[in-house]
Chains A and B, each alone.
Chain A
């Protein structure tokens, strides 16, 4: 019994040391964290690479701490998962191209322009293109034309883009700014008085675990549906969410990685190609609405594919 255990222990140690002795990986993924969402991205990325004929040895996965301990890595492509990893890679002097994942377009632009760049950098954003968001609103609520945006100091910079896209689609847009250090409620109240639907835009100063209760309770009371950017919001009580799953992003990153490994240059930063729509069936019923997430996703995909 004891020898049996010892055998497995030694075998485990051997396997753990194996990557150190392996050849240089083609791709190094630096992940801000090892948790479920990040692992899903990595797993989908690995699957896609395997389809392209690459093995697990071609892919190294490191946390920022592990990266610091491992000098002399010379991959052909760096992939950053999340903001923390992105900042570390932007500070590295490696000449290899970098693909950043799990950042919003706005965060990516802010962070990447802040750093001196030694190498080409691109990204697959985490947030959805504005027109896709507005198309979803039109599909889900053909009667509701007045869109409300509750913005904070960061997200307010996206307001003109939302306004232009809304005008193009024949929607009207009203926005309200939550001032720094001010309670969110007056801005929300002002906004809800003239809005048929509230479109949530990621901004931790406005939408966070502490503010969500006020937002969801107030909107529900006024029967204004909330369209959010993450399934956690739908679970919490938002009516709808439009988002890309970590697997969808990992898959898209895999495709980009394959082209880079085949010698193509890094493509321009892009929005996620694939996405999901989630519906909270209980809130749908409570608001007297009728929505089907499968149908909404399919219809939105068709619009997205259209030239």
Chain B
């Protein structure tokens, strides 16, 4: 069925390219070239706010930085963003990248968008979306540091990772790359782009995989020695993983004021989990599969106004089950399916030269089908969102951003998230920013409706998560003061953010005795358990002392004043990154990235990770054979000794790998 649709789509798109035949190239210019109307390209919604006028702190990771970093996936890149916590572990499904606190196994307080489509999982595997894109397809990543619900909804509670893919007009030709190295590292990419002036296409298929983290699960009682486990001997975290990703994008221009962007993609992640120390969590492989379609239609209404309509549909399937060894009739399953449909309409316009307004609405339906997790065949949640932001230039040096989002969820009711931010250009190249925002994060489907019971022959053997549904939305009120400065003579730029984020009704897991069954059972529930503040400061400095040298430094000091040990250690007190990108003679690129972070935990009291440091080094040489451009790169991730990641028994060992890239 879907194959037939894909076939028709391909025929349609092929027809489009053939019809877009270029005009006669020999034509002399006429007065029409001077007087003719032109499409509005850098329209009101396409012209981004400059960094010193955005209502919040933003870190941009561009294509060059992605390439030079030696990163293999998006979470790797987030170490370059102050205030982020990153794990490479697949233990909870997918590697995590969170801002201001790894409050649990899933990153459910940060929104992830790829070309405007939320890849937040309606199921409970929060960060899987970060793996659904090949790094080579990315133009840049804009990380909005700080609560951004006023513009991006409840899930942007603490921040947003906004991934923008490359314009298919810029990726014509064939690009292939292959990476191989230690610890099973094996990545490959094929990217094919083609098109004309009015229609451009890109198809990219990629695979990445490695053996995952290593562990010291092994403990020899006779010699009293911890030993480094070997995943082949099945005594480590069974973290072997491989991910296949396919993405297609078509940008079409049906008329002078219209653009139509179509996207289709799939991602298929297999990862190992569990251990061989007990029957409750044996070693096994899980699968997270997803597929989506997305259509964006942008119509330019005038020089000062345009309109965007976006529709997307995403399907997900999660497979994870095992036989509980002591009771072989019992199969512990946490699998299921989820889907979501989203329709967004957005109108952007200017009123005079001092006022820019964006407003719109979104309808979103999320459906989850998982009898093992919800004891119900189908649960749906409908979201209705109305949003607006007004950017008002009060004076040449003063800009006010006032925005808000009204969000209604059929599961938890309505709430309103406002934001006010004032940017003051105190002097040329020096901007001060002050603002306040408030937002709510309604409990997720799982936090509100989980119902996991282990039943064999109608006998209840035990319970897992059985939510009582009393949980109410978490609330955040964030205050921030920011500074953004540039010293052009020194080619230096700095960004400082001082923040206080007060969280109320924080949702946490709590064990309780479920007395409903005839034989009471210990079950887990989500409750509003805590009020606390996240306070601190972070800075980011970019320095380009010479043309071929770039230095990036960032540091974050974060204090979470919760009485709960797991919560208060959810972010390290100090973390910093120093990156050096140096162009050497012969076009050789040298990158050195050093990252240090204090002790932290992923919301696991008693599972504190030691302070870590990690150094990544990359050396790459470009070459050319005839018309073929290429690059050969050698990367070592974590040059030094292994460090703790995700769990205090998991370690990230040195990984050296080499990449060959060819472009025809």
Contacts and interface: CB of A to CB of B under 8 A. Distances in A.
A and B together in one complex: yes
Interface of A: 32, 37, 81-83, 102-104, 106-107, 110-111, 126-127, 152-155, 180-181, 183-186, 189, 202-205, 207-214, 216-218, 220-221, 229-230, 232-233, 235-237, 243, 246, 280-283, 285-286, 288
A179 to B, nearest CB: 9
Contact of B40 (A103, A203, A236, A285): A236
B311 to A, nearest CB: 22
Contacts of A126: 31, 34
Given A213-B253, A220-B42, A237-B41, A154 B26 contact: yes
Contacts of A154: 26-29
Interface stretch (B142-150, B151-159, B192-200, B271-279): B192-200
A301 to B, nearest CB: 20
Nearest to A84: B30
B571 to A, nearest CB: 33
Contacts of B170: 185, 189, 214, 218
B34 A107 contact: no
> Which among A102, A111, A214 has the highest number of chain B CB atoms within 10 Å?
A214
B232 interface: no
B47 A217 contact: no
A214 B169 contact: yes
B42 A210 contact: no
A83 B253 contact: no
B353 interface: yes
Contacts of B25: 152-153, 180-181, 205
B274 to A, nearest CB: 45
A111 to B, nearest CB: 7
A221 B47 CA distance: 10
A286 B33 contact: no
B50 A213 contact: no
B197 A184 contact: yes
Interface of B: 20, 22-23, 25-31, 33-44, 46-48, 50, 139, 167, 169-170, 172, 195-198, 253, 256, 259, 303, 353
Given A210-B253, A212-B41, A235-B40, A204 B167 contact: no
Contact of A216 (B35, B42, B48, B197): B42
A202 B195 CA distance: 24
> Which among B42, B46, B253, B259 has the highest number of chain A CB atoms within 10 Å?
B42
A107 B30 CA distance: 7
A130 B16 CA distance: 39
A286 B31 CA distance: 30
Nearest to B304: A282
Contacts of B353: 281
A214 B197 contact: yes
A181 B21 CA distance: 9
A202 B43 CA distance: 23
Given A233-B38, A286-B50, A211 B197 contact: yes
Given A210-B197, A211-B197, A235-B303, A204 B42 contact: no
A236 B38 contact: yes
Given A209-B36, A282-B42, 10 more contacts: A126-B31, A180-B25, A184-B197, A209-B256, A210-B20, A213-B253, A230-B33, A236-B42, A282-B44, A286-B50
Contact of B30 (A83, A189, A229, A283): A83
Contacts of A32: 31
Contacts of B33: 202-204, 207-208, 229-230
A281 B303 CA distance: 12
Contacts of B35: 37, 230, 232, 246
22 contacts: A83-B31, A102-B31, A126-B34, A153-B25, A183-B195, A185-B169, A186-B172, A204-B23, A204-B28, A208-B23, A208-B33, A209-B38, A209-B39, A210-B198, A210-B253, A211-B197, A213-B39, A214-B170, A216-B41, A217-B167, A236-B38, A237-B40
